[in-house]
Structure 1
Amino acid sequence: MANVNIRRDVTDPFYRYKMERLQSKVEGKGNGIKTVIVNLSNVAGQLARPPSYVIKYFGFELGAQTNIDPKDDRWIINGAHESSKLQDHLDGFINKFVLCKDCKNPETVVQVKDANIVLDCKACGQRTPADMRHKLASFILKNQPKKGKKDKSTKKADRKARKEAEAKGDDEGVNGNGHPSPGDSGSDQAEENGDLAVEAGSDDELTRKINAGAKDLPSEPSTQEQEVQWSVDMSEEAVKARAKALPEDLKQTLVIDEDAEEGENGGKSAYDELGDWVDEQAKEQGSRSKISDVDIYKKAKDLGIESKHRTPTVLAMSLFDEKNVNKQIEARAALLKKMIGDSEKHQKAFLGGIERFVGEIHPALIPTVSAMLLPIFQEDIVAEEVIKGWGSKASKKYVDIQTSRKVRKSAEKFLEWLENAESDEDDDDDDE
């Protein structure tokens, strides 16, 4: 069965993280038609996630019913769905609930604390939040991984630590668990191989000799203590301390984002709090459009993020309802211009938020991107050059690369209009 890179935007054939390509078949007809994902268990195992998370994600994205706990390992989605379409949706699942948001590595462990889902990365040591806005987040909170079971990434980290411990013990003829290695004279298999010479004397005499020799030996750490030993402290506090200690020029080279504003112990950030506050106000007032610009600005200022470049991204994702987004953008123009200003970084972040708003939260709105860009341009929220630069190349910064291409494809109509409008102005100047 063909394997693909877990991150399909990585074209390197030697990329170490692989998974099987999804295989599906359509069964039945009429109202009883359904799609069976043949190898979902294998793919989910390679992602170190329960298959129920993946199938439920598909159900949410496709608006279809699914079976989340089949006894016969037949994972079914109602309706007919192509494998290629499911593979595209799997990219979204990987981006939101598998990849570390810091290093984009899939070696993460799902941890749930205080109703928040955190991805603990075994590669870089960072703990980054999963996408709590997706409906799957609620499902995960209700169906947490069973305690005591280690996922693939944890087992891999443990194996690496055990190998290091074994390497340290090789000179003394012991393995990482403090026991003699197979084939050594002290191992259980040695007697079978004829390597163990039986010492004369009673059992008591032999025991006394062993105990006497053991007094001079250094005590070995327990198996539990030796199982996972990092050569470098990878705790969250230690990682942050090392990052802050780096020279400024090196921080810039490594693109260390000190504007992350992550909450304590990987909890909610100030940006999460702003988004949640907008959601709560929308429920209380019956509509997002009823929340006043002044209250929104005051809330951002109270959180200390009114001038941060990531705030426009949050506003783009949380300020608008599904219907007539272009009209809502016009109504919010004053607030958006105040919080975005002339900063190109802020303007790009706002476009990234729009991209995530239509690409992840409301995919049905992707065909309307051109209509949204018109008021963004006409109200001078984002400069023409920034819009053109954004539209010229897909990016995986805010959404997966396939979704990014779809969003820009939908924006082509507006970008063409922008080019033609500029050409017309040039022609008018020439006539004069």
Structure 2
Amino acid sequence: MATVNIRRDVKDTFYRYKMPRLLSKVEGKGNGIKTVIPNMSDISRSLSRPPTYPTKYFGFELGAQVNCDGKNDRYIVNGAHDAARLQQILDGFIQRYVLCPSCQNPETDLIITKTDEIIMDCKACGKRNPADNRHKLATFITRNPPPPPGKGGKKGKHAGTNTPPGSAVDEDGNPIEPVEGDEDDDDDDELTRRLNAEAAELPAESAIAAEEWSEDTSAEAVARRMQELAVKTTVLGDDDDDDDEGNKYEAFGQWLDENTKATDDDIYKKAEELGVANKHKAVQVLVQCIFDETIVQQIPKRTKLLQRFGTSEKHQRAILGGIERLVGLEYKDKLMTKVPIILKKIYDADLVEEEVILKWGEKPSKRYVDRDTSKAVKKAAETFLNWLRNAAEEETDEEDD
């Protein structure tokens, strides 16, 4: 198989870092036309990156849906794309997520920090530099981290480090002590393997609410609000918390209600002070306190804060649970008809993935609200749920073709 230099700007034929030249094969016709990259696994092996990363990068750069079938070693980009164009786009991926910014050497490992920042650790020059954390692929990488070097099995949260799987690292990649009780459920291993390309915009409100928003913070209003939040262990869905642990979330909710204009940094600092930072239960409380009837306009402003608390499937379910309570218990008259738009907003912001939303919408649950309220919220969400199901079916049909 013909090879090219990983850095194609280097013309030296003896350059040691090589990769296979990208091959493409166009299949199908009409709306079902697609481009298969038969040697994507070989290319990714040369780059020491999972094949899903460059494939998803193609999708984002071309605005096309992709399909990553690791079991059958098939990596597909919808539409007809020639190999030269894909090779050029691959150069952009290599520059962003493979080459060391300091020495331009491809001997790098990816590190996911505690704050979900991607850092490249260079084995050649020893420096650590941030990767492009603004690109849409960055979210996909943090949610689907590569296995540590030399381990092809279960994916670790902090790929490319010598730390044990599940251990946390600081922003410089140094190991830190984990927060007790913050482990993810076993079902977090079932995180969705892929993200659909951004969907066509659903009808949404065009009016933008003013940035300044406030609530009644009188003692009576706070007491009523806390009663509605009911941040007890039974509402939060776990039975193994003691009273002290439940009181921490209640204190966090009350502080949020009393400090409605607190900055994202203030909120996170308070969560750390109470010992609830990065815990999924805190996310449910957070959603109920930082959003109101203008949630559609508020989501983009609060996306980074929610991601800072965690992005696991457990955290995503907590976001949906918080929205279920916010809509069903606090702003039923104002927000029930806007549920599809709210879900579209959190989906576009990469706060909750497709499979998590579909699983949530399968049937009513008493986990966060009473069954009747849950049924009403999920019935209101049916428009968006059907759109997601149809998009998934269309992609399956294209694969079958």
Alignment TM-score, normalising by the size of structure 1:
0.37
Task: Point out the structure with max Rg over C-alpha.
Answer: 1
